[in-house]
Structure 1
Amino acid sequence: MSYMLSHLENGWQVDQAILAEEDRLVVIRFGHDWDPQCMKMDETLYGIAERVKNYVVVYVVDISAVPDFNKMYELYDPCTLMFFYRNKHMMIDLGTGNNNKINWAIEDKQEMIDILETIYRGARKGRGLVISPKDYSTKYRY
């Protein structure tokens, strides 16, 4: 489903996407279109894009074609989801220890909407770090 999402082809386009958006949360999926984990994430993002279009804009970046941000954002995972609001990187505490990004595929659409809404509401209030509506730490998985 990545072909249905807006692709950013170079570093300048990524910068402009983050800089130009004034009122909406910018969600960027870094990874490869052919990666199975990214395919699952793209399916979820495409499925919710129409429902959250008033406060979220979704972009896709191929980390091989645009390696400019790999070191800066530590993009070593096959699929990474990052959030920006008014040119500010938004962090989310998921209980995993890494507050900068989501680096696994989320397949539940409502779960993704809840995360995006939480980040957007926190960003509108001026917060740089928000708490996830669900704890993703492994200590509760039996």
Structure 2
Amino acid sequence: MPYMLPHLENGWQVDQAILSEDDRVVVIRFGHDWDPTCMRMDEVLYRIAEKVQRFAVIYLVDITEVPCFNQMYELYDPCTVMFF
């Protein structure tokens, strides 16, 4: 079911997701959709998404498709969750 969390497909969408939220925390999982660690994290994030929707919004970013943040955020681990 993690596929139901929204994916950000490019750097512009990531920037817009962060900049457009004034009242909620933006949670972004950076990693590979196929990675087992990310799959487990995605399941956890999916389970809490509805519970936290009033104060947080959750997105997924595949770092192969959107590599522009890899160096900036030092994304070297298989799965990274960041809060903005």
Is TM (by shorter chain) over 0.5? yes
Structural RMSD (CA): 0.6
2-structure distance, mates of 1:71, 1:14: 15
Q: Deviations over 1:74-119 (max 9, x none)?
A: 00111000000xxxxxxxxxxxxxxxxxxxxxxxxxxxxxxxxxxx
Q: Normalised by the size of structure 2, how large is the TM-score?
A: 0.97
Identical aligned residues as a percent: 75
Tell me the secondary structure at the aligned position of residue 45 of structure 2.
helix
Give the TM-score normalised by structure 1. Answer: 0.58
- Runs of at least 4 residues of structure 1 off by over 2 A? none
How far residue 2 of structure 1 moved from its aligned partner, in angstroms, is: 3.0
Runs of 5+ consecutive residues of structure 2 not aligned to the other structure: none
RCO higher in structure (CA 8 A, sep ≥6): 2
Equivalent residue of 2:16, what SS? helix
Give the superposition deviation at 1:66.
0.3
Does residue 21 in structure 1 map to residue 21 in structure 2?
yes
- C-alpha contact 1:2 1:60 (8 A) present in aligned 2: no
Unaligned stretches of 5+ residues in structure 1: 85-142
Higher percent of residues as helix: 2
Aligned to 2:43: 43
Residues 70 and 76, structure 1, Cα contact 8 Å, conserved in 2: yes
Give the count of matched residue pairs: 84
Supply the AA of the counterpart residue of 1:45: L
Aligned AA (1:65): E
2:63 is matched with which residue?
63
